[in-house]
């Protein structure tokens, strides 16, 4: 899991293009643009996976109310329209309407770059969902005008998350000191890079 929520202290960058709203991937996996109508399913998925998410995601410290999830999905819609963040939900054709993960492209790392964040529901870990989704978002990001670099960042202790960029051929650019925000973190962040 890499950070899938925007960090409020970093100003988002704006891109002039937009990635596809729907990405169909092998194995019946699809990523679709997150909208306000998905708030109930997203809230249910997050609440069911809090113990799984809490070690790595600071926003999972408390169970979100449905109203809070609705507020965040509305903010995500506005960010999509503004061209700063592009939030997706992962679903399987075999389980329509059930959120099995969330991914996003975030304009929080400076000009010409987007950061990918992701999480996958505990019962779907190990099926390649994060890798397939991050791979599709990497391609979509690098196809956008003005985007030349994509990054995936995760804590050094989060081996499952670090396996994703490694499998996709990202280069480990550096290990950076980072503020510890979640209980599983060490404060050493792996910064993986893919360039056009």
List, for residues 167-181, the tens digit of each pLDDT value.
999 999 999 999 999
pLDDT band per the 50, 70, 90 thresholds, residue 7: very low
Pairing mode, if any, of strands 188-195 and 149-155?
antiparallel
The vertex-126 CA angle with 120 and 127, nearest 5°, equals: 85
pLDDT band per the 50, 70, 90 thresholds, residue 3: low
The H-or-E segment that residue 30 falls in is strand 29-33
**pTM of the complete model:** 0.91
d(CA 74, CA 89): 14
Looking at residue 145, what is its pLDDT? 95
Q: In this model, does residue 16 exceed pLDDT 90? A: no
Q: In this model, does residue 1 exceed pLDDT 80? A: no
d(CA 121, CA 135): 18
Does residue 126 sit in helix, strand or coil?
coil
pLDDT band per the 50, 70, 90 thresholds, residue 11: low
Question: What top-level class would CATH report for the domain 22-195?
Answer: alpha beta
Domain locations along the chain: 22-195
pLDDT band per the 50, 70, 90 thresholds, residue 37: very high
Tokens 């999905």 found at: 73
**Residue from 137, 89, 92, 85 nearest 107 by CA:** 85
């Amino acid at each position: 899991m890499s950070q899938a929520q925007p960090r409020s202290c970093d100003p988002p960058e704006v891109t002039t293009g937009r990635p596809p709203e729907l990405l169909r991937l092998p194995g019946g996996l699809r990523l679709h643009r997150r909208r306000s109508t998905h708030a109930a399913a997203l809230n249910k998925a997050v609440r069911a996976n809090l113990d799984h998410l809490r070690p790595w995601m600071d926003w999972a410290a408390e169970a979100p109310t449905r109203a809070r999830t609705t507020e965040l999905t509305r903010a995500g819609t506005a960010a999509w329209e503004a061209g700063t963040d592009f939030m997706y939900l992962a679903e399987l054709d075999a389980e329509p309407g059930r959120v099995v993960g969330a991914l996003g492209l975030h304009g929080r790392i400076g000009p010409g770059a987007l950061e990918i964040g992701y999480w996958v529901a505990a019962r779907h870990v190990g099926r390649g969902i994060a890798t397939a989704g991050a791979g599709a978002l990497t391609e979509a990001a690098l196809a956008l005008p003005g985007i030349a670099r994509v990054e995936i960042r995760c804590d050094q202790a989060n081996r499952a998350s670090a396996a994703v960029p490694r499998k996709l051929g990202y280069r480990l650019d550096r290990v950076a000191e980072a503020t510890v925000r979640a209980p599983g973190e060490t404060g050493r962040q792996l910064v993986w890079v893919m360039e056009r």
